[in-house]
Amino acid sequence: MTASKSSRARNARIGAQASAARGSRGSGTGTAVKNGSAASTGAATRNGAATKNTATRDRGGRDQARTAAARSGAAERGARTPVAPAGAAPAGPAVWLQIATFVLALAGLGVSIYLTIAHFTEKALAFCSESGAVDCTKVTTSPQSYVFGIPVAVLGLAFYVFAVAAMSPWAWRTARREVHLLRMVSLVAGIGFVLYLIYAELFIIGAICLYCTSVHVITFVLFALTASAAAVWGLKPGARWVRRAQPSE
């Protein structure tokens, strides 16, 4: 009976030792699992942060590349644009030409106003003969003094109102191409109309008007000066040169 008790005591001790060993192995495995999970989480976090940093650097590099390309394109466009020397005025018609055309346009406007007033008041034109080859009244009262039912004097007045604006120094210096184009087109049309009126005076009416002739001469001179300016400076003289701002500006 004593032997049985000793045997049971040994068995109990052996079982306790085995349980302790299993518990120790279980604790070790749990700790390893936890450590492995923590290590995996830390590695994943570091990898994610590294990926984000790499993506940020890539975006920054692309932005810098686009900025460099934009600057290069702007520099190339600037190199193709003619640049005047520092402080130089934009190239274009000389000042004397601008002033001369403006004064001529004003003179043409003044004569046109006078002819229009004389037409509607039916007054004789001052200092103009009324007989022979020079007969202002015969010309201004002829059927050819109307075009499509509109008095020629009124058409001349409208033309020179536009001419004064188009021949002003401000219009000459503008960079708007349409202003210079309209100036040239209006003068071409004006010259065509003048040629018709000269033909009518010489071959249909058989007399000339000194005031009308003065308007014809002014129109011819304006056409010659404007055509010369277009041939030398083009149809956009105000923008022929562009002054580039200096870095200090």
Choose the final residue of a domain: 20, 51, 81. Answer: 81
- Domain of 51 in residue numbering reads as 1-81
Does residue 73 lie within any of the structural domains? yes
Is there a domain that residue 25 lies in?
Answer: yes
Asked if the structure places residue 86 within a domain, the reply is no
Q: Is residue 183 part of a domain?
A: yes
Contacts of 218 (CB under 8 A, 6+ apart): 104, 105, 107, 108, 111
* Alpha-carbon gap, residue 84 to 225, rounded angstroms: 25
Q: How far is CA 123 from CA 110, 140, 145, 180, in A?
A: 17, 10, 15, 38
Secondary structure E strands in the chain: 130-131, 134-135, 146-147, 150-151
Collapsed DSSP state (helix, strand, coil) of residue 168: coil
Whole-model pTM?
A: 0.60
**Pair (76, 163) in one structural domain:** no
Higher pLDDT, 29 or 186: 186
pLDDT over threshold 80, residue 16? no
Is residue 247 in some structural domain?
A: no
Domain boundary among 36, 53, 81: 81
What three-state secondary structure class fits 208? Answer: strand
- Asked if residue 77 and residue 118 are part of one domain, the reply reads no
Beta-sheet strands, E only, within 79-190: 130-131, 134-135, 146-147, 150-151
Let me know whether 61 and 13 are in one domain: yes
Other Cβ atoms closer than 10 A to 61? 10
Give residue 38's pLDDT band: very low, low, confident or very high (50, 70, 90).
very low
Q: Are residues 140 and 217 in the same domain?
A: yes
Q: Are residues 114 and 230 in the same domain?
A: yes
Say whether both 111 and 232 belong to one domain: yes
Pair 75, 121 in one domain: no
Q: Quick check: 13 pLDDT over 80? A: no
pLDDT level of residue 30 (50, 70, 90 thresholds): very low
Amino acid at 32: A
Last residue of one domain, picked from the residues 81, 110, 137: 81
The answer to whether position 90 is within a domain reads no
Task: Answer yes or no: do 124 and 40 share one domain.
Answer: no
100 and 157 housed in the same domain: yes
Q: What backbone phi and psi angles, to 5 degrees, belong to 124?
A: -70, 140
Claim to verify: residue 220 and residue 111 sit in the same structural domain: yes
Residues 178, 130 share a domain: yes
Is position 88 within any domain? no
CA dist., res. 244 & res. 229, Å (int): 25
Pairing of strands 134-135, 146-147: unpaired
Which of the four pLDDT bands, split at 50, 70 and 90, describes residue 243? Answer: very low
Q: Are 167 and 229 in contact (CB under 8 A)?
A: no
- Candidates 176, 165, 172; CA nearest to 105 is 165
Euclidean distance between CA atoms 126 and 131, whole angstroms: 14
What is the C-alpha separation between 232 and 225, in angstroms, rounded?
Answer: 11
Number of domains in the chain: 2
Residue 223 located in a structural domain: yes
The answer to whether residues 59 and 156 belong to one domain is no
Q: pLDDT-based confidence at 17, cuts 50/70/90?
A: low
